[in-house]
Amino acid sequence: MTPPVIHIDADACPVKAETYKVAQRLSLKVRVVANAWLNVPQDPRVELVTVGDGFDAADDRIVADVTPGDVVITADIQLAARCLEAGAAVIAPDGREFSRANIGQALAMRALMADLRAGADQGGLKGPKPMTQRDRSNFLQTLDRVIMRLIRG
């Protein structure tokens, strides 16, 4: 079996450094997809793919490049759904693994929150909570578990 490639939806990803370390330890390829140039490790297994700043350009590129058995790191629930459909494993930066069983609920919650934001005074609604050390630890544990599951088949 071909080892998984890790695709990072990179523009707002807070766990790039953690992902690079895991990929290096396991000799896995990482494809970092961003709307603009980012500093990435000088490693032949790390590829930076810059796309235009068009709407969903990074998402569309990730979906075009992902193959069954790959891993995608993203907080974007719509991108997660598209990647699951393509056969990839998907992990959020806080360590949540998206699956066919939970993506519908995540999409519904996203739609509900968008409706609330559209109809509410923006002063009462907050953005995403900041990353904690626990989130980073959860992410690393989930990433290791998912990669091992994919490698073992």
The predicted pLDDT at position 106 comes to 60
Instruction: Check residue 122 and give its pLDDT.
Output: 54
Per residue in 88-109, pLDDT tens?
A: 999 999 999 999 877 667 655 6
Domain layout of the chain by residue ranges: 6-152
Identify the pLDDT of residue 4: 96
Cα–Cα dist 17/30, whole Å? 11
Q: What is the pLDDT of residue 108?
A: 57
Q: What is the pLDDT of residue 9?
A: 96
Positions in the chain whose pLDDT score sits under 70: 1, 103-104, 106-128
pLDDT at 11: 83
**What pLDDT was estimated at residue 8?**
98
- SS3 for 8? strand
- Could you say which of 3.90.550, 3.30.450, 1.10.3470, 3.40.50 is the CATH number of the domain covering 6-152? 3.40.50
With 0.95 as the threshold, say if the pTM is over it: no
Rounded to whole angstroms, the Cα distance separating 129 from 131 reads 7
CA–CA gap between residue 11 and residue 66 (Å, rounded)? 18
Q: Are 1 and 152 in contact (CB under 8 A)?
A: no
pLDDT at res. 54: 80
Model pLDDT, residue 129? 76
